[in-house]
């Protein structure tokens, strides 16, 4: 199946289905000598796994990472790293009523049109469970970035109509509430809103914001592989994401050049920007300031309300979706966005190594 490989030098390939034996990823291009254990990956998987609160699916998956290759005595060997997460709590029978019809908001119809066949058990390859493999790979990338002094941090900015103003972020509170919001008070308001959605057998969307700090200037390319374009592609590759913006994003359309341009100045001999409307990129390359982007996540399409649909025989039907589903996917998608950003930035850092002759000389002729 095409579309399962990401990256040029730091390359990942995910595999597996929602109701198969497991989900996994092969990571190729990780340098040798990186300290890495299953626990390093587990920390990230625990943020994505189901059953964390009443706002996530009750599917009980341990999501335990198994490193099958590429590690010796606690360090990477430079060879492909294979990570597997076994599926343990599949209930394929929950999907028997939709095997011959198409769920609104899902990939059932388009997958059938492309391949003439689909795994209807939870969406198969199109399921959000595939992101388990992305998170496992992202954990490895994040550890590489940490060695370079680069941090990727994502969090929930908004759930439905409840949005945290930029001036009221408290980053130390992100892990103090089940929604991963940097403000416990707004998390309480969002929780009340979600409770009403559940009572109405409905779901909600939201906005995830991500900040990358410590990035040197000049990472990314000027044409097709722009840093912001690369981030947009990987973030939009997450199934539930329907929108992407970086910096001021769509608000820039209502701005003026005198307001939107970021000025430059030297402080203590370092070039800095007076503002960061661009979100940390200029001309498709990092400018040394924090990279800030947001992803718009749609409401979970699997809801218990009766919906209008069709079956394969051409009949109009009413459909009620059974099974265990998230009333909101935003909290579990936060770490997925973080992982995709880490994977993208790591690959671009690796490819940037050959951008200048002096870099090659410093490496090969110290």
- Confidence (pLDDT) at 335: 97
Mean pLDDT (the chain, rounded)? 91
pLDDT digits (tens, 9 = 90+) for 55-71: 765 555 678 999 999 99
- Confidence (pLDDT) at 89: 63
- Confidence (pLDDT) at 141: 98
Which CATH number does the domain housing residue 244 bear? 3.60.150.10
Q: CA 265, CA 285: separation in Å to the nearest integer?
A: 19
Top-confidence range, 43-52, 97-106, 177-186: 177-186
User: What is the value of pTM for the model shown?
Assistant: 0.92
Mean pLDDT value across residues 177-188: 97
Mean pLDDT value across residues 26-35: 98
Q: At residue 91, does pLDDT exceed 80?
A: no
- Confidence (pLDDT) at 115: 84
Structural domain including 315 reads: 5-364
- Determine contact, residues 301/104, Cβ cutoff 8 Å: yes
Q: At residue 230, does pLDDT exceed 70?
A: yes
Q: What percent of the chain shows pLDDT beyond 90?
A: 72
- Confidence (pLDDT) at 211: 98
Q: Please tell me the total count of domains within the chain.
A: 1
- Determine contact, residues 206/159, Cβ cutoff 8 Å: yes
- Nearest alpha-carbon partner for 76 in 39, 27, 43, 133: 27
Asked which of 119-133, 161-175, 206-220, 247-261 is least confident by mean pLDDT, the reply is: 119-133
- Confidence (pLDDT) at 302: 85
pLDDT digits (tens, 9 = 90+) for 245-273: 999 999 999 999 999 999 999 999 999 99
Question: In Å, what is the CA distance from 306 to each residue of 51, 104, 191, 203?
Answer: 25, 11, 24, 13
**Helix 38-48 vs helix 131-147: angle between axes, to the nearest 10 degrees?**
130
């Amino acid at each position: 199946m095409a579309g399962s490989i990401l990256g040029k030098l730091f390359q990942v390939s995910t595999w597996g289905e929602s109701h198969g034996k497991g989900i996994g990823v092969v990571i190729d291009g990780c340098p040798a000598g990186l300290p890495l254990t299953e626990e390093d990956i587990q920390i990230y998987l625990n943020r994505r796994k189901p059953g964390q609160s009443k706002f996530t699916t009750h599917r009980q998956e341990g999501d335990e990472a198994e490193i099958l290759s590429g590690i010796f005595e606690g360090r990477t060997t430079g060879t492909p790293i294979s990570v597997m997460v076994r599926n343990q709590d599949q209930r394929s029978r929950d999907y028997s009523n939709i095997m011959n019809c198409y769920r609104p908001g899902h990939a059932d119809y388009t997958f059938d049109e492309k391949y003439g066949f689909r795994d209807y058990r939870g969406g198969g390859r199109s399921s959000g469970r595939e992101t388990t493999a992305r998170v496992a790979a992202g954990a490895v990338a994040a550890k590489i970035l940490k060695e370079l002094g680069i941090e990727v941090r994502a969090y929930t900015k908004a759930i439905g109509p409840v949005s945290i103003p930029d001036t009221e972020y408290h980053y130390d509170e992100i892990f103090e509430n089940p929604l991963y919001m940097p403000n416990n008070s707004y998390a309480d308001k969002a929780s009340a809103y979600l409770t009403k959605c559940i009572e109405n057998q409905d779901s909600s969307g939201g906005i995830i914001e991500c900040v990358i700090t410590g990035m040197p200037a000049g990472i990314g390319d000027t044409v097709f592989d722009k840093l912001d374009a690369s981030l947009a592609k990987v973030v939009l590759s997450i199934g539930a994401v329907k929108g992407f913006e970086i910096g001021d994003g769509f608000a820039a359309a209502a701005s003026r050049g005198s307001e939107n341009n970021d000025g430059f100045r030297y402080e203590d001999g370092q070039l800095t920007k007076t503002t960061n409307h661009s979100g940390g990129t200029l001309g498709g390359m990092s400018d040394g300031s924090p990279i800030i982007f947001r992803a718009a996540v749609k409401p979970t399409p699997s809801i218990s309300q009766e919906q209008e649909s069709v079956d394969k025989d051409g009949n109009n039907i009413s459909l009620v979706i059974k099974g265990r589903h998230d009333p909101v996917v935003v909290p579990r998608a936060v770490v997925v966005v973080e992982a995709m950003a880490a994977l993208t930035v790591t690959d671009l850092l690796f490819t940037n190594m050959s951008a200048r002759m002096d870099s090659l000389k410093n490496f090969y002729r110290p």
